[in-house]
Structure 1
Amino acid sequence: MQTPSHESSLDLAPQSCQSCRSRKRKCDKALPRCSLCAKRNRNCEYRRPEALSHSATALSLERGCYPAPLEEQADVQTIDFPTILFLDPALLQHGVVETSHTAGTVPQYILQLLGDLDEIQLTATRFFEHIHLWMPFISKKRFYDLYLQPSLHSRPDVVLLLLALKLITTFPSAGSRSPRTALYNSTKHYYLEVERSFSILVLQAGVLVALYELGHGIYPAAFLSIGTCARYAHALGINVSRTVPTRRVLTLVEVEERRRVWWAIVILDRFVAVHRESFNLDTNNKKLCEHRLSRTALCNCRSKIG
């Protein structure tokens, strides 16, 4: 048996000739003429692949189909999971799906503002000893079990919450005439960078920022921040009957924490709109009234949430 040599393979055309292609006949792709064209004494013509590609492009242009640049073609297929989940929250109806946390590193200037672990623990102690007593929307147990772990300080949403805690527990310096301190501006700026992580930690940080703005009379930023928190809560599916939560709640502590963060938003909204009824958030619905908690119920739940 003879094996075809490498030289003989070079004598074959890369594709069938035009005559065989038009007649749908098998072509042996021989050069300079295929066997069928030589036998029938026909004109044997091979078209180059470049010519075919140019003709296909020309045909597409005639039909109004213009190819997108490579950059646009790559961007078409890149859509993050929070966007998909926001547009179609029903994805969670048939299984537990966790949203991915925001990728990326925490800026160095944010870590410098946050301080070391001892300073973070001091900030947490101040918050839970003073502010948590009258605005309990962050679980103390969950916070100390999870968010003080150094391994989680690379997550932007955790760092944002810790930074907001430091903001709400830090008094402006005595010589400062404006509450818009460097810490406040950095927290607001970093919030805009991290809000796409679609996390309840971002919502809790937003409530703390709004609380700081209310306490220091920073208007209209306080009013706008509360509205942003309300929208963010709706996007997360918190206390909205017609939407599905963006992640399945697995514990009773998480259920209570989600309920309390919504009530914190309602309370701040009522406070900021006390002198103008037109500023009220549209929260007067039947579902909200059904979930009203008495003072006794809140005290009973405090042991569960921390």
Structure 2
Amino acid sequence: MNSNACIFCKRGKRKCSRERPACGNCARLGKNCAYIEDNTETRFATGRLLDRLKLAPLPFANSSVFVDNTSHETLQQSAVDLALQTFGSLDNLQTIATEFFTGTHQRISALSRLRFNHNLQALASRPRADFAALCLSILLMQQMPAGKTSTMQSPLYFNVKDLIGRLEAADGLSLDLLHCRVLVAFYELGHALHTAAYISIAVCARSARALGLHRKAWRHVDAASDRLLMEEQKRIWWTIINMERFVSLTNGDALFMMQDPERTDALPIEDLIWAESSRPADLERLIAAPPALDTPFNITVGQLARECQIFHLVGRVVRHVFDPTPDPAFNAEEAAQLERTLIAYLPLLANEELKIGKYCGAFGACNSALFALYEYLLQHGMEDATERQRILESIEKTSLRAITFAEAAYQDREGDYTPDTYSPYLSYSLCQSAIVQYRLWKQHGDLSHKRHLDSLRSILLEITKRWKVAWQYLEIIDNLQGSWPPLMIPLQGYFIGVEVL
């Protein structure tokens, strides 16, 4: 086999037909070649974490994961051995987990730190394969792109996905394996692995239903309930809904695997307390009296709870745009209602973000939903010149609000917002705002729009430190042509609901 064969071809024992940078098999499959040495181009959330901890090279970087499935006991032990061999020691594992919970976990806060730490302490005496896979998934989440050309389809990425599938096949589903799938899907979503994320999130939804989470046991928490477990299940259920609504928006897909929540459904409790409490008693009172989906927007709730409220609206926008009803009067009324509600949230999200740094993901999703709604209205039956002008002005206002927010929150403030706490949901709306400024610049020649475009570009460049997808948004901005490029960006190259657009 060619010594320059890429990972895909080595794993499939195929011959590469070309030298780097591309091989025939990957070209046929529509993949970018990824090479073992490319893994050195990625870094970790606190700056080459593996080097700093002096961990050994990943033991399975050149081959498939080996986990002995001959019996339940050997399965558990071999998976734990694999994790410990990767991390080098329990101390290293604890260090990486601590940095995950104080950083990336702020943007995907479903996992219980209390339960994780309890299981970590028992890892040697009571080995569990699903928990070992969760530790490796956390390590994967700490990977960050080192530059535009670095690949996030690293050996660790492939082997974590492989390990999850093997454990599910051999030992069945568990909450920890669902956490693994959610972390991998979020990783794919943030690192421009669009098709993989689209599929992974659907698998998360099916896995959650297979575990019975759709029955929402947390709606009936009583004195005998394991309240921490109920809250964790609720948080992971909502996290999957939020990811699906975002991916549906960017793919133009109105078919949801996750059912719509009800107005009275309980939201997650305050994230900071969830992440930092060291005693279950500190959480139980909050878990027993959580906010609901229909909590008024002027009442402060946690970051994940606010994202749930916004992504519920995003889902309604997705259906309105990509699967409208045949009733024009109803559609017009619904569009007006959605616009009013989304606009009402934006000042609140921006103000609370600047005060306490919570709602950037919700703010970005809210903006993106408005852009989608406005773009759809412009393209469908907008014969009233006055209304068309109002929508154009509203698009400009939405873009300017996003610029003001992004400049205040993220420009030259890395001390307040370290890269590992950036949300991948925000960068999509910044790219859309940049497209609006490009349109205005081309139409009016006003250099203020060009300055706004450059400002958004510099902020997206900052976000590339954490999420590879930001490089893709920058590439879109740098290749804008014509006077009216679309605001809805089909990142996979197509919209599933293209016939509606």
Pick the TM interval, shorter chain: 0.5 to 0.7
Instruction: Give, in whole Å, the separation in 2 of the partners of 1:134 and 1:271.
Output: 14
Q: Which residue of 2 aligns with 1:224?
A: 199
| 2-structure distance, mates of 1:131, 1:152 | 29
Q: 2:181 aligns with which of 206, 215, 218?
A: 206
Aligned to 1:119: 92
> How far apart in 1 are the matches of 2:194 and 2:242?
17
* Partner SS, residue 180 of structure 1: coil
Q: Say whether residues 1:291 and 2:275 are aligned partners.
A: no
Match of 1:88 in 2: none
Aligned: 1:263 with 2:238: yes
Q: What are structure 2's unaligned runs of at least 5 residues? A: 1-70, 218-223, 278-282, 287-501
Could you tell me which amino acid in structure 2 is paired with residue 226 of structure 1?
I
Find the counterpart in structure 2 of residue 178 from structure 1. Answer: 151
**Amino acid in structure 2 at the alignment position of 1:207:** V
Query: Does the 8 A contact of 1:138 with 1:257 survive in 2?
Result: yes
| Equivalent residue for 1:215, pick from 190, 195, 199 | 190
**In 2, distance between residues paired with 1:152 and 1:217?**
39
The 8 Å contact of residues 201 and 244 in structure 2, kept in 1 or not, is answered as yes
Partner amino acid, structure 2, of 1:210: A
Whether 1:154 and 2:134 are equivalent positions in the alignment is no
**Cross-structure match for 2:226:** 251
Deviations 1:73-95 (A, max 9, x none): xxxxxxxxxxxxxxxxxxxxxxx
4+ residue segments displaced more than 6 Å: none
Q: Deviation string for 1:5-43 (max 9, x for gaps)?
A: xxxxxxxxxxxxxxxxxxxxxxxxxxxxxxxxxxxxxxx
Shift in Å at residue 221 of structure 1? Answer: 0.6
User: Post-superposition shift, 1:161?
Assistant: 0.5
Structure 2 match to 1:34: none
Which range is displaced more, 137-146 or 224-233?
Answer: 137-146
Partner of 1:128: 101
3-state SS in 1 of match to 2:97: helix
Shift of 1:212: 0.6
Letter in 1 for 2:142: T
**Residue pair 2:205, 2:257 contacting (<8 A) in 1 also:** no
For 1:1-306, list aligned pairs within 5 A: 103=73, 104=75, 105-107=77-79, 109-151=82-124, 154-172=127-145, 177-195=150-168, 196-240=171-215, 250-285=225-260, 288-293=262-267, 297-298=269-270, 302=274, 303=277, 304=283
Task: Report percent identity of matched pairs.
Answer: 29
**Aligned equivalents of 1:251, 1:221: Cα separation in 2:** 34
CA RMSD of aligned residues (A): 3.0
Instruction: Determine if contact 2:198/2:247 at 8 Å carries over to the other structure.
Output: yes
User: SS of the counterpart of 1:229?
Assistant: helix
CA distance in 2, matches of 1:167, 1:156: 17
Q: Deviations over 1:91-143 (max 9, x none)?
A: xxxxxxxxxx9542325554422331111111111111112223211111121
Question: CA 1:291 to 1:252, structure 2 compared with 1: closer, same or farther past 3 Å?
Answer: same
- Who wins on radius of gyration, i.e. which is larger? 1
What's the counterpart of residue 54 of structure 1? Answer: none
Q: How far 1:272 moved relative to its partner?
A: 1.1
Between the aligned partners of 2:266 and 2:271, the Cα distance in structure 1 is 14
Are the counterparts in 2 of residues 164 and 209 from structure 1 also a CA contact under 8 Å? yes
1:180-217 deviation line (CA, Å, top 9, x unaligned): 00111110110111124321000001100001111101
Partner-residue secondary structure (3-state), 1:275: helix
- Whether the 8 Å contact between 2:205 and 2:258 is mirrored in structure 1 is no
**TM-score using structure 1 length:** 0.57
Q: 2:216–2:234: 8 Å Cα contact kept in structure 1?
A: no
The amino acid of 1:240's aligned partner reads R
**Within 1, Cα distance between the matches of 2:270 and 2:210?**
26
- CA distance 1:148–1:185, shift in 2 (3 Å): farther
TM-score w.r.t. the length of structure 2 is 0.36
Alpha-carbon deviation of 1:276? 3.4
* Matched positions, count: 197
Asked whether the equivalents of residues 188 and 197 of structure 2 are also in contact (C-alpha less than 8 Å), the reply is yes
d(CA) in 2 for partners of 1:146, 1:180: 29
